[in-house]
Amino acid sequence: MQLLDGKKTAASIKDEIKQTVDAIKLQKKRVPHLAAILVGDSTASKTYINNKIKSCKEVGFKSTLLHLEKDITENELIAQINNLNNDNSIDGFIVQLPLPKHINEERVLLSITPEKDVDGFHPINLGKMMIGLPAFISATPKGIVEILKRYNIQTSGKHCVVVGRSNIVGTPISILLGKKSEAGNATVTLCHSHTKDLKTYTLQADIIIAATGKPNLITADMVKDGVVIIDVGINRIDDNSERGYHLVGDVDFKNVSKKSSYITPVPGGVGLMTVASLLQNTLAAYQAAYYPKDFIEENLL
Ligand code: NAD
């Protein structure tokens, strides 16, 4: 079994980005600028946002955090988004999900201009990705494709079973893997909570992408020898540690790793790749402002 090391892979991507930013600084140009909107005080969301802001600093990006009250109205939030849409000093921005229940997430995501939608959640970006036009690919699926590429894991002709069909992970990664492209050409099965006898499908998989939020859903008896495992799940399990919890994925790592050829750990796997992809998207958004059309075509997936 070989570990798919998200920490190491994300670090080399960040290094590449930093070199580009250093070159930008030498030319005395402004550096890429990512803004992030956080609504409310969820500790998990704060951790995710802080990691993103910290990573911006590491690569030399400018970052701005807008921390808004949890009882902000939907219209007030959209007004803040419009400010960012119209602010030429900001290349891309994200709205950390989930949002409080009184806010319609779809309406909020639709209000982000697609050119600054570095999370790739806007239907314009999702639609362009579907038909193979240059687009911002959602950070987690992009990170999964990138880690597979960097470990030379072939997807062509393989059977990939994706478990979970969210708009931000399961559905887009199932499309990317099935596309006629370098990191695609797989035969994809998309499973979800209505799938009967999940094990029938996972046992046939050469590659399993688990994105359900169900701790230890994928167990050793559900996978074949030599399987490649990408564990997207991030689940908090309460314990007696100082922090009060530890993180596990959707896969029973201890036992499944014994049968797998490659596996991502949790933590230290897909989560870090997600942040690295967000930085790549932000850099592409910045560069698109300087080299519009052909640059986008060459640099977005
Ligand atoms: P979600 O919570 O929106 O949806 C879960 C999906 O899993 C649904 O499509 C559902 O049909 C499916 N599902 C639930 N139970 C199932 C079962 N028993 N069998 C088969 N399918 C089942 O999904 P999400 O937002 O993609 O998040 C999934 C997990 O990934 C969560 O743990 C989340 O924290 C994590 N996540 C991690 C990253 C990262 O960067 N690593 C990014 C996004 C989400």
- The pLDDT tens digits of the residues spanning 69-84 come to 999 999 999 999 999 9
Tokens of 177: 């893997």
- Residue 288: pLDDT band (50, 70, 90) is confident
| Domains by residue range for the chain, with CATH | 27-113 (3.40.50.10860), 139-271 (3.40.50.720)
Residue 87 or residue 290, greater confidence: 87
The pLDDT of residue 78: 98
The pLDDT of residue 149: 97
The pLDDT of residue 191: 98
| Residue 248 parent element (H or E) | strand 245-248
27 pLDDT above the threshold of 80: yes
Count the residues in the chain.
301
Nearest residue to 136 via CA among 166, 96, 176: 176
- Residue 301: pLDDT band (50, 70, 90) is very low
- Residue 260: pLDDT band (50, 70, 90) is very high
- pTM metric for this prediction: 0.95
Q: Which atom of ligand 1 is nearest to the CA of 170?
A: 26
- Residue 282: pLDDT band (50, 70, 90) is very high
Q: Which atom of ligand 1 is nearest to the CA of 139?
A: 40
Distance CA 108, CA 17 (A): 29
Nearest CA to ligand 1 atom 42: 140
Distance CA 122, CA 58 (A): 27
Hey, which residues are catalytic here? 52, 96, 119
> Any residues with CB less than 8 A from the CB of 274 and at least 6 apart, and which?
139, 140, 143
Q: 193 CB under 6 A from ligand 1?
A: yes
pLDDT tens-digit profile of 186-225?
A: 999 999 999 999 999 999 999 999 999 999 999 999 999 9
299 pLDDT above the threshold of 60: no
Tokens of 62: 């400018």
- Residue 248: pLDDT band (50, 70, 90) is very high
- Residue 300: pLDDT band (50, 70, 90) is low
Q: 140 CB under 6 A from ligand 1?
A: yes
The pLDDT of residue 31: 97
Nearest CA to ligand 1 atom 1: 166
Nearest CA to ligand 1 atom 32: 213
What is the percentage of the chain residues whose pLDDT exceeds 70? Answer: 96
- Name the 3-class secondary structure at 92: strand
CB neighbourhood size of 246 (10 A): 13
Nearest residue to 17 via CA among 209, 276, 297: 276
The alpha carbon of 235 and the centre of ligand 1 are apart by a number of angstroms equal to 10
Decide: 263 and 251 in contact? Cβ < 8 Å: yes
Q: State how far the alpha carbon of 13 is from the alpha carbons of 17, 36, 180, 231, 283, in Å.
A: 6, 21, 25, 20, 12
Distance CA 68, CA 79 (A): 12
pLDDT, averaged across the chain: 95
98 pLDDT above the threshold of 70: yes
